[in-house]
Structure 1
Amino acid sequence: MVDLAWKLSHWDRRVHAFPTIGDIVSEAVCQHSALTPRLTEPTDDDRRCQACLLLHGDELADRYGDADRYAL
């Protein structure tokens, strides 16, 4: 899941992390789905999806170690 495509969804105006881009519909790691032709490149002003950031961060911690160091 490291090579994610961060795209702006016009359904909720958030930037989501997509592991794959489908032909018709794409599903983000947070399970938000959107029509692929409606996804656009984000700008620095667009807000990222907090759930995508959290899920992607957890995956990176698991993959690269030290995840237990930050566990509550």
Structure 2
Amino acid sequence: MGENRGFTLLEIIVVVFILSLLAAIVAPRIIGRTDDARIAEAKVQIKNFETALKLFKLDNAFYPSTEQGLAAL
């Protein structure tokens, strides 16, 4: 008979265990960074709104009303 080239069940279980362990360690870090990125993006958007309001006031000498602001969105 020829050489046996397949993996044993034990080898497959060990590999799956190692991959699961790595995924359990890495996944929370990636998810946490996604939340950090969303927070940073929200801060930038708020800063952009602030700048837009200041520019509006600079051009018009008053801030837009609530209705004007909502219409612009």
TM-score in terms of structure 2 length: 0.27
Structure exhibiting the larger radius of gyration computed from Cα positions: 2
Name the one with the larger helix percent: 2
Name the one with the larger strand percent: 1
More relative contact order in 1 or in 2 (CA 8 Å, sep 6+)? 1
TM-score in terms of structure 1 length: 0.27
